[in-house]
């Protein structure tokens, strides 16, 4: 069990597309998942993608029952999601403020699909097939973007809605997906 270093924006490894997991029985996968949970907990995040700790595999973890940092946030089921595929349901988008453990001290307003279906596999290789909306949908889109080498600033449309947490107006009720 190891808390791993989180890569910061500018590291080219965050821009590389991740490879799918092919062997769910590989002990290294279970070790990776333990490390990801430890790292996420130590950082106080609600999600983490494997490329953020320098592992180029299609693995994300997310979820919380209640966040002390974000008591107003709706709960998101604790999930290990491997080889995910995300598709929008409908055309509606929501704008919401996001942060990222790989982009410390900053937040920006990011458009995301309001409602999505996501499919993939859990740690044992069992199928996951869910629909989600709201913050749950935002977290999944944010984490799965990491697997495509996309960081949230690359999705910002209005850069007036991007800045340092300590300088943004206090009414910016941002919730950091990770």
Which residues of the shown chain bind Ni ion in the complex (CB under 5 A)?
Answer: 100, 178
**What's the closest the beta carbon of residue 70 comes to Ni ion, in angstroms?**
15
Task: Please report, to the nearest 10 degrees, the dihedral formed by the alpha carbons of residues 20, 94, 115, 152 taken in order.
Answer: 10
**Minimum CB distance to Ni ion smaller for 8 or for 125:** 8
DSSP-derived 3-state class of residue 14: helix
Rounded-to-integer distance, Cα 166 and Cα 169, Å? 8
**Minimum CB distance to Ni ion smaller for 80 or for 100:** 100
**Minimum CB distance to Ni ion smaller for 12 or for 27:** 12
**What's the closest the beta carbon of residue 26 comes to Ni ion, in angstroms?**
25
Q: Name the token pair of 28.
A: 């290294």
**What's the closest the beta carbon of residue 74 comes to Ni ion, in angstroms?**
19
Catalytic, 143? Answer yes
Which of 16, 38, 93, 143 is flagged as catalytic?
143
Radius of gyration for the chain, computed over Cα atoms and rounded to the nearest angstrom: 15
**What's the closest the beta carbon of residue 145 comes to Ni ion, in angstroms?**
8
Nearest to 89 by CA among 117, 112, 130, 110: 117
Nearest to 119 by CA among 79, 76, 84: 84
**Minimum CB distance to Ni ion smaller for 83 or for 102:** 102
**Residue positions annotated with a catalytic role:** 143
């Amino acid at each position: 069990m190891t808390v791993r270093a989180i890569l910061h924006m500018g590291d080219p490894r965050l821009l590389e597309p991740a490879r799918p997991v092919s062997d769910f029985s590989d002990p290294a996968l279970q070790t990776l998942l333990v490390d990801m949970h430890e790292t996420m907990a130590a950082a106080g995040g609600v999600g983490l993608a494997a490329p953020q700790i320098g592992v180029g595999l299609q693995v994300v973890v997310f979820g919380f029952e209640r966040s002390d940092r974000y008591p107003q946030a709706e709960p998101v089921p604790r999930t290990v999601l491997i080889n995910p595929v995300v598709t929008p349901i409908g055309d509606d988008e929501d704008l919401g403020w996001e942060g990222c453990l790989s982009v410390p001290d900053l937040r920006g307003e990011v458009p995301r699909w309001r409602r999505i279906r996501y499919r993939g596999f859990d740690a044992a290789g069992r199928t996951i097939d869910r629909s989600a909306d709201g913050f749950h949908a935002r977290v999944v889109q944010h984490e799965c973007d990491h697997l495509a080498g996309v960081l949230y600033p690359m999705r910002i449309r209005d850069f007036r809605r991007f800045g340092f947490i300590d300088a943004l107006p206090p009414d910016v009720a941002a919730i950091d997906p990770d």
